Structure 1
């Protein structure tokens, strides 16, 4: 039996997908590693993993890739865990730190600042500990589990999934399952069935996981903020986003 190296994002929003994979027979064919989004992307670009859940902006770097699943990390409006935080309204932010965990969120923030808000603050590459530098007229893009509870720390929060929806009328894809080579059809069938089963088990999973913060509604997050189906609307959104990414230079993390 063939085995495949798989890299997946370690955030809360991937738990239903991982739950499905780990409870499926397909797990016997997987050597699974968890990492932050940017590291999953690096492994895919370097060719050290066969299959990865990666931030979609990396697709613009790849001469060859295959989106191998109808499941993703997406949203159709407010996503709750990707946004710009600050002590002042965004119009008053002179600088914004860019979360180094995901190029997709960096590029999405750049796109919305340029096209939606029509603002040009100084964009700063961020390193670990940058959350403590957000304050005054300095804002920050923050993604993933680190955002949970930040709305109580900062009075201004701009949800990038929600703003994208307002700007384009489209849903958004933050991460997709991607391979750079052709994988066996029977394996991919089992893989997709496992992901489908994990998404279907969200009600069960909600009973097994505790909320990371008393103010964070885990049930609402899984059922309203995250949309796991890579449908036609999200594919259209992905094409729109990648058209922008291909023309722009990312601020390094």
Structure 2
């Protein structure tokens, strides 16, 4: 069984109990790569971007009980660095990191339905020269976003717009960035063992958030800041998180941003 591992700090509580030799093969990849690996059959399980889970056409299921990464309000690691407030970005150029799957769709949704702007989307790989000069805003996620916020000067940008804060202010339900999903073709008993292992590892990690924060303190921020960051997430998905997941899925379809094949949320 091949399991994808996301190399971001907010996923570390799940990994804390894995040790040096977990009972499965581990493949490290960013969220956008994980989605493609799931569709092409390369991996059997992973912390899958919510937007990708919607499109894997019934070949993956959520682990039971559901686990993932969700937030009610600010997260600090999904930010739009910009020279102007979001509603003043109409007609502007917005750079988008290539690591993202869910966050870039959340950004498109917010731009279209909440901020009412029409922007030109520029893949970060196509930006030439300093981003602060080449584009008017730039979406960053994960540890790169944390580093930018911790830098103090936002790396030359005027402001950092937290997309999870924008979603909460708009919809009033948690935003689910990623879900643990496992391929349906994996034998049921093996899926159940994996879900149990994952839940147990999270229980251990949740008791050691201070240790995780200490191990990553530095360019991402100080220990206290990173511990508070980790504590802001919900890792066990309850009814409110499931509602947030459904609402995001339906809004993406309603605004013609992404159709979905996966309805079991």
Q: Label 1:188 to 1:237 Cα distance change in 2 as closer, same or farther (>3 A).
A: same
Which of 170, 186, 189 pairs up with 2:173?
170
CA separation in 1, counterparts of 2:128 and 2:109? 22
CA separation in 1, counterparts of 2:146 and 2:248? 26
Normalising by structure 2, what TM-score? 0.83
1:126-137 to 2 correspondences below 5 Å: 126-127=124-125, 132-135=130-133
CA separation in 1, counterparts of 2:129 and 2:107? 17
User: What is the DSSP-based 3-state SS (H/G/I as helix, E as strand, rest coil) of the residue aligned with 1:21?
Assistant: coil
Normalising by structure 1, what TM-score? 0.86
CA separation in 1, counterparts of 2:159 and 2:220? 19
Q: Label 1:89 to 1:135 Cα distance change in 2 as closer, same or farther (>3 A).
A: farther
CA separation in 2, counterparts of 1:30 and 1:63? 24
Q: Label 1:22 to 1:230 Cα distance change in 2 as closer, same or farther (>3 A).
A: farther
CA separation in 1, counterparts of 2:145 and 2:132? 13
Which of 6, 16, 20 pairs up with 2:17?
20
CA separation in 2, counterparts of 1:191 and 1:137? 40
Q: Label 1:206 to 1:128 Cα distance change in 2 as closer, same or farther (>3 A).
A: farther
Q: Label 1:180 to 1:130 Cα distance change in 2 as closer, same or farther (>3 A).
A: farther
Aligned-pair Cα RMSD in Å: 2.3
CA separation in 1, counterparts of 2:100 and 2:84? 24
CA separation in 2, counterparts of 1:174 and 1:202? 20
| 2:116 aligned partner | 118
The answer to whether the 8 Å contact 2:220/2:226 transfers is no
The answer to whether the 8 Å contact 2:146/2:221 transfers is no
The answer to whether the 8 Å contact 2:73/2:167 transfers is yes
CA separation in 2, counterparts of 1:131 and 1:237? 38
Which of 129, 139, 142 pairs up with 1:141?
139
**Bigger mean CA deviation after superposition, 178-187 or 161-170:** 178-187
Pairing 1:57–2:51 present: yes
User: How many residue pairs align between the two structures?
Assistant: 243
The answer to whether the 8 Å contact 1:8/1:32 transfers is yes
1:98-109 to 2 correspondences below 5 Å: 98-109=96-107
CA separation in 1, counterparts of 2:2 and 2:135? 44
User: Structure 2 stretches of 5 or more lacking a match?
Assistant: 259-265
1:38-53 to 2 correspondences below 5 Å: 38-53=32-47
| 2:86 aligned partner | 90
**Bigger mean CA deviation after superposition, 239-248 or 166-175:** 239-248
Q: 1:78-104 deviations in whole A, cap 9, x for unaligned?
A: 010101111222233212112221120
User: What is the DSSP-based 3-state SS (H/G/I as helix, E as strand, rest coil) of the residue aligned with 2:121?
Assistant: strand
Deviation at 1:131, TM superposition (A): 8.7
User: Structure 1 stretches of 5 or more lacking a match?
Assistant: none
Pairing 1:9–2:6 present: yes
Q: Label 1:205 to 1:60 Cα distance change in 2 as closer, same or farther (>3 A).
A: closer
User: What is the DSSP-based 3-state SS (H/G/I as helix, E as strand, rest coil) of the residue aligned with 2:63?
Assistant: strand
